[in-house]
Structure 1
Amino acid sequence: MYGNSNQPIIVLKEGTQRSKDKEAQFSNIDAAKAVADSVRSTLGPKGMDKMMVNSIGDVVITNDGVTILKELDVQHPAAKMVVEVAKTQDTECGDGTTTSVVLAGELLKQSEDLINANVHPTVITNGYNMAAAEAVKILNEIAVDAKNDKMLKTVSDTSLTGKDVGDDSDLSHLSDIIVKAAKFVADEDGRVDTKNIRITKKVGGVIADTYLVQGVVIDKELVHSRMPKISKDAKIAVFNCGLEVKKTEIDAQIQITDPSRMNDFLAEEEAGMKRMVDHIKETGATVVFTSKAIDELVQHYLTKAGIMGYRRLKESDIESIAKATGATICGEVNELTEKDLGTAGCVEEKRVGEDGMAFITGCKNPKAVTIFIRGGTEHVIEEVERAINDAVRTVGITLEDGKVVAGAGAPEIELGIRLAKFAASVGGREQLAIEKFAKAMEVIPWTLAENAGLDQIDVIIKMKSAHENNKDGKYFGIDLDSGEPVNMLDKNVIEPLRVKTQAVNSATEVANMILRIDDVIAARRAPPAPPQGGAPGGMPPGMM
């Protein structure tokens, strides 16, 4: 910076890097496009997988957009904003993460021409906001109702397609499980809290061995080998306290001067533990779960009373057991009453591979269920878990909203056509931005065709023609096997409306945020800390 006397005025700290105007904008846009390009090849049922190896050698193989971006160690600030888009999309919808990132990257790519033509970023962002609002209106217009189980299963099938979840029979089997699980935990208003759908996995068997447990599966073994292995018509006590002698709140010491009093002290401690178990037995409990420890003596008395016991459960496990069985979580053993007990048709310890697991089944009206995943390798079941997580969320939001749109690029082509017409009605410089927004929508069908090995230009031309010349053209997407436009409602390829609206809104927001940055000031990084220890050669400081 220079003053009136042409003398430099030092404002920033030495070593600070600064880029302004177009240089800053294009640098940020390039970073965002790089993130979008990194996941672009995974989009759609023909998308490829990525293998990521971290610094300690752990391997992740997936085509799930948000998982890939979480694993990448992204440093550029603008790139991190795009990663946040994927995380938001995953939180809100569970699916469409790759779509939102690719769309954000394309919106920024389309804006480059406008910036080079000296269209102000504020004009571009205004146009993008107008286009996004109109796009959401159009999506609501072309959406169809989805209330029956067949539609829900189709939504799940579409979400699972392209993930590494086996063949068509495995996909159909998993979709049946997912729809049942979502309907089990749905409340009276149709809202689905997917946290109540637990996913437990064990290596072994094949994907087709995955099944739904109407209750909870806990990856814990009985605390004592001689306890019963099964309890029919179980009465379940749930604690978040330890079943042991309580320690004092403050440090305390007991001094025993008479050796004979030592036996009295131990006998009283033992009697206290026996009373604890007697109280549990009096309530009628046949199974005990606790998030804390169970003393060895208490284990002994529980075994003698024929009561199953499990300890050191996670808080999430405790809450799920309470929801599934109707039990009340107790903070004190003495507070337990018969009304606090939960019920289950059966609590059984089963061997799964080399480990014992507790299966709590036959719950009357479970508000927590478990999908128990099996698969041949650790990588397979991890990818199946990611796929099921996505599908559970998509089925959940479909149950809540009751609206779906056709898949396979159909809504994006319809948006592109309608937004181009909308742009002409707006006028002004914003019209240019809306036209670019409409053009950006084509990136989704373009990428689907690219990943399927089809000619992208031919596919886009055929799809536009089908949309403009057919009564039900708005439902026509790309058949990735033949490359021809097909009615996706007839082909059972549908997606939740919320996935598309969220993708459009979040992609627009991040594109606008990046476009509005015209100055990047980066402080010089601190030098690495010197190694710990004395002066070189081990001499004390100050000596040669």
Structure 2
Amino acid sequence: MAEINQPMYILRDDTERFQGNQALRMNILASQILASIVRTTLGPKGMDKMLVDKMGDVVVTNDGATILQEMDITHPAAKMLVEIARKQEHVVGDGTTTVVIIAGELLKKAQELYEDGTAIPTILMGYRLAVAKALDILFNISTDARDKDTLFGIAKTAMTGKGSDYAKDELAELLVQAVMKVEAGEEVDKKLIKIHRINGGSVEDSEIVDGIFIDQGRARDSMPKEIHDAKIALMKYPLELKDLDNAKVDLTDSLQMQAFLDSEQETLKDIADKIIDSGCNVLFCQKGIDDVVQHHLSKAGIMAFKRVKNTDVKRIMKATGAELITNIEDLTAEVLGKAGYIHEEKVFDQILTFIEECEDPKASSILIRGSTRHISSEIERAMEDALGVVAATVEDGKVVFGGGAPEIEIARQLRAYANSISGREQLAVIAFAESLEIVPRTLSENAGLNTIDLLVELRASHEDNINMGLDVFEGKIVDMKEFGVIEPQRVKKQAIQAAQEACEMILRIDDLVAAAGALQKVDEDENLDHSGMPPAPGMGGMGAMGGMPPMM
């Protein structure tokens, strides 16, 4: 056979491909850009981001999860960091900014080692050794605690630096009360706690409801607006006739038509009579309620609600003891729940229904107030984060003290551990230790403090006390245990693990193939500037972020 000397193409002409060192640099740089965007939001002195979508809606927040969710990121490596942030939010509810900036720093250190001649597999092996040792150190420096004071400190720490900062004591107290109502041993079902925001009023007007509430009103205005000594029926059964749009009914004269309509009316009246006969005076239905049924229920003095959300139904069950009925034939007095008082109220511009004076409610609700939509939204996000970390503390019973103390202590012990390792893996372990220090360094930078001097002082203080951390308000090194800055062990554990996993996934990529236009070319000679902001438009690589123009 004759030798073929012409090139063979297996990809489309317009396909972009980056190999080896170029692909690695592109992926690391894209990850660093993303980390630099959220880095300035970390800590009590962190700044906010304003995000504007294509419809013109504005979100002002310093919540890492919200920022990453709202940004329209296209670079695949950056998307991996967004994914670990989502995982952090799902597992713990907080620490999304921390996990992204640690991953970005790990990649930066890995690139430095690689350019100095250390092979990628060696770096990855060193990182694996480091993360295993770091988690062991984290476990040893953690403290057992799940008492009310600890939960209060956890909630306050989670809300510090966010829109709720000036009212964090009051909000933390509300949250801890709500969690303690629903906790079952060492388990907290966060779905049983409803956090609802209303625009109008001040943050200090926020309150925990004596019972629960749902954000909807009665099915019909003629129904009672309040019920004392409520007997509650919960139904998944639709209280209406089946849809006949696709059915065929042959009617030969008007009498048959009237008989058909009368039969429908009678069927609907029978449904209403069964509800009335059960003895209930309040009905919550997950499905629709026919107008005829509503009419009969209203005449009987029954307060009814239709199309109630599944999460609300679950909380009503826990609060009142009602059983969810899927067949109307099963509706009897034995399955009804009880509440002392149910009433509908208009709070500012929203209709709410309050279910109060429950005997032993295992569900709770918090009503968040804020003067504007942006303020109330940010407070709601802060409360959701705090709920996640408080629930994690109740479930795990393990906490550490914040202010950068855990990261500094883990880094200190990792350096000592690195001396026991031979080969270039030792360099990777040291790089991992230095990467963890990005957390206290960022806290200091965001507060405008002398970062170098404080880091040196912080490292030295850990020779005597592992709880020493950075007080960004006073610019001093203090005992975080006495200062009351507490974080769940789970937040740190998940952040360290997830950051290393994402870093390893990105470092193992040596070939990037993309459809034309899917990526913007990254200039290998470009680097992040010292402000922590993305470089000039020539950087590219992130695609359109939230529809915003390139930053100059």
Cα pair distance change 1:390/1:20, threshold 3 Å: same
Q: Which amino acid aligns with 1:53?
A: V
Output the CA distance in 2 between the equivalents of 1:432 and 1:220.
Answer: 60
Shift of 1:214: 4.3
Shift of 1:148: 1.2
Whether contact under 8 Å (1:166, 1:207) holds in the other structure is no
Cα pair distance change 1:280/1:75, threshold 3 Å: same
Report 1:169-180 matches (<5 A).
170-180=167-177
Output the CA distance in 2 between the equivalents of 1:322 and 1:196.
Answer: 10
- CA-atom RMSD, angstroms? 1.8
Report 1:152-191 matches (<5 A).
152-167=151-166, 170-188=167-185, 190-191=186-187
Q: Which residue of 2 aligns with 1:406?
A: 401
Output the CA distance in 2 between the equivalents of 1:8 and 1:275.
Answer: 80
Secondary structure of 1:255's aligned partner: coil
Instruction: Confirm or deny that 1:228 pairs with 2:224.
Output: yes
Whether contact under 8 Å (2:401, 2:485) holds in the other structure is yes
Q: Which residue of 2 aligns with 1:83?
A: 82
Whether contact under 8 Å (1:200, 1:217) holds in the other structure is no
Output the CA distance in 1 between the equivalents of 2:252 and 2:240.
Answer: 22
Shift of 1:334: 2.8
Q: Which residue of 2 aligns with 1:292?
A: 287
Whether contact under 8 Å (2:197, 2:368) holds in the other structure is yes
Q: Which amino acid aligns with 1:171?
A: K
Equivalent of 1:242 in 238, 244, 251: 238
Cα pair distance change 1:14/1:152, threshold 3 Å: same
Q: Which residue of 2 aligns with 1:373?
A: 368
Instruction: Confirm or deny that 1:522 pairs with 2:514.
Output: yes
Secondary structure of 2:509's aligned partner: coil
Instruction: Confirm or deny that 1:358 pairs with 2:353.
Output: yes
Shift of 1:505: 0.4
Whether contact under 8 Å (2:199, 2:373) holds in the other structure is yes
Q: Which residue of 2 aligns with 1:334?
A: 329
Cα pair distance change 1:262/1:75, threshold 3 Å: closer
Alignment coverage as a number of residue pairs: 517
Equivalent of 1:492 in 464, 480, 484: 484
Output the CA distance in 2 between the equivalents of 1:434 and 1:260.
Answer: 88
Q: Which amino acid aligns with 1:183?
A: M
Output the CA distance in 1 between the equivalents of 2:117 and 2:20.
Answer: 11
Equivalent of 2:453 in 458, 462, 485: 458
Report 1:206-221 matches (<5 A).
206-221=202-217
Q: Deviations for 1:394-416, whole angstroms, at most 9, x for unmatched residues?
A: 00000011111010100111111
Whether contact under 8 Å (2:251, 2:257) holds in the other structure is no
Shift of 1:265: 3.9
Whether contact under 8 Å (1:95, 1:390) holds in the other structure is yes
Secondary structure of 1:478's aligned partner: strand
Secondary structure of 1:490's aligned partner: helix
Q: Deviations for 1:255-308, whole angstroms, at most 9, x for unmatched residues?
A: 152x44554443343333222222212211010111222222212211111100
Q: Which residue of 2 aligns with 1:253?
A: 249
Unaligned runs of 5+ in 2: 519-552
Q: Which residue of 1 aligns with 2:434?
A: 439
Whether contact under 8 Å (1:214, 1:366) holds in the other structure is no
Secondary structure of 1:237's aligned partner: strand
296-305 or 358-367, larger mean C-alpha shift = 358-367
Report 1:270-289 matches (<5 A).
270-289=265-284
Q: Which amino acid aligns with 1:522?
A: A
Cα pair distance change 1:135/1:313, threshold 3 Å: same
Q: Which residue of 1 aligns with 2:505?
A: 513
Q: Which amino acid aligns with 2:54?
A: S
Output the CA distance in 2 between the equivalents of 1:10 and 1:300.
Answer: 73
Secondary structure of 2:482's aligned partner: coil
Secondary structure of 1:400's aligned partner: helix
Report the TM-score when normalising by structure 2: 0.90
Whether contact under 8 Å (1:46, 1:451) holds in the other structure is yes
Q: Deviations for 1:9-35, whole angstroms, at most 9, x for unmatched residues?
A: 333332222222211111100000001
The sequence identity of aligned pairs, in percent, is: 44
Q: Which residue of 1 aligns with 2:546?
A: none
Shift of 1:343: 1.4
Q: Which residue of 2 aligns with 1:534?
A: none
Q: Which residue of 2 aligns with 1:202?
A: 198
Whether contact under 8 Å (1:462, 1:484) holds in the other structure is no
Instruction: Confirm or deny that 1:38 pairs with 2:34.
Output: no
Q: Which amino acid aligns with 1:345?
A: G
Shift of 1:344: 1.4
Cα pair distance change 1:356/1:521, threshold 3 Å: closer
